[in-house]
Amino acid sequence: MPDQQPGRVAVYIDFDNVLISRYDEVHGRGDFHRDRQKAHSGSLPEQTFTERLEAATVDVGAIIDFASSFGTLVLTRAYADWSAPVNARYRGQLVGRAVDLVQLFPAAAYGKNGGDIRLAVDAVEDMFRLPDLTHVVIVAGDSDYIALAQRCRRLGRVVVAVGVAGSTSRALAAACDELVTYDALPGVKPAPPRQDEPPRGRRRGRRDADEGPRFEEVDDPDDVVEADDDEDPQVVATELLVRALQLGHGRGDDADWLHNSQVKEQMKRLDPSFSERRLGFRSFSDFLRSRSDFVDLDESSTARLVRLSA
């Protein structure tokens, strides 16, 4: 689709996924379901549960504002059981931002993926009903949405996923054109680090040469978009940059220099979750400058160029 044409964006929010993932990010993995059970049984005071919900509030406006950066919002839908008090507290915000609230009625355990299916069916139907859609923003981190992301891309749409750090599938990230963590959205206050959380079960996302994959005790045993504890994200980003430059140089171009925008695009293709802002840099140029041991940067003109150091 021509770049000069304004984007037309469809947004699909799996609200339960975002709410629960954010709560678990702030308080500890699995705490949402445990705390809700305790609140229902009376072993956790309702006021305490409410305060913990407030501490893990989801900034709906930040999500919608981010989606609008891709173009005009043609439709925005949020899927949840809106009669549940934990979700009902957001209805005013969502309606105020012209979000269509899709009611999902409580279902038995065998129907727990009903919301995922409803969202995916609606999205695919919209792809054919609204052929001018250019972008699809999926606000969720479940691997259940991999097939949806792949189908939307095959239909020519740019697919962007927004997921909570620690609860977003690596496979979903690979299926999208771009993945952004909720904490990285403009205006969102990152979750504070938890100092008092004891190790529980086995660690998610760690691999051992002898034992194979090891996962933390979670409902969905997918790798998540998080670096291993022994893996420095800065080192990972440097390796990604070098790989992208090697691919660019290997295309047989006459010049050794590559446009920095071209390099960033290649890095995003290799890892859709890459973001220089998550690494603490205000711009991609700042990120490149910090890698002066590995790359040469030519900023003598408005077209910034980069190449691997000799």
- Whether the per-residue pLDDT at 131 is higher than 90: the answer is yes
Q: How confident is the model over 185-213, as pLDDT tens digits?
A: 888 887 776 655 544 433 333 333 333 33
Picking from 37-41, 57-61, 164-168, 230-234, which range would have the lowest pLDDT averaged per residue?
230-234
Q: How confident is the model over 7-36, as pLDDT tens digits?
A: 899 999 999 999 999 999 999 989 999 999
Residues 6 or more apart from 135 whose CB is under 8 A from it?
A: 7, 8, 9, 10, 70, 71, 157, 158, 159, 160
| Across 154-169, average pLDDT | 91
- Whether the per-residue pLDDT at 87 is higher than 90: the answer is yes
Can you give the pLDDT at residue 303?
A: 79
- Whether the per-residue pLDDT at 172 is higher than 80: the answer is yes
> What percent of the chain lies above the pLDDT cut of 70?
82
Cα(259)–Cα(181) distance, rounded to whole angstroms? 26
- Residues of each domain in the chain carrying CATH 3.30.420.610: 233-308
**Contact criterion met (CB below 8 Å) for 182 and 165:** yes
Cα(285)–Cα(113) distance, rounded to whole angstroms? 42
Q: How confident is the model over 199-256, as pLDDT tens digits?
A: 443 333 333 333 333 333 334 444 555 544 456 888 888 988 888 888 777 665 545 7
Superfamily for domain range 233-308? LOTUS domain-like (3.30.420.610)
Q: Does domain 8-184 have CATH number 3.40.50.1010?
A: yes
* Separation of CA 187 from chain center: 16
Per DSSP, the three-state class of 55 is helix
Find, among 113, 158, 156, the residue nearest to 138 by Cα: 158
- Residues of each domain in the chain carrying CATH 3.40.50.1010: 8-184
Average pLDDT, the chain: 82
* Statement: the pTM of the whole predicted model exceeds 0.85: no
- Whether the per-residue pLDDT at 307 is higher than 80: the answer is yes
What radius of gyration do the chain's Cα atoms show?
Answer: 21
Cα(245)–Cα(247) distance, rounded to whole angstroms? 5
Cα(6)–Cα(3) distance, rounded to whole angstroms? 8
- Per the document, the length of the chain is 310
Cα(148)–Cα(160) distance, rounded to whole angstroms? 12
Find, among 122, 45, 61, 144, the residue nearest to 97 by Cα: 61
Find, among 180, 131, 184, the residue nearest to 160 by Cα: 180
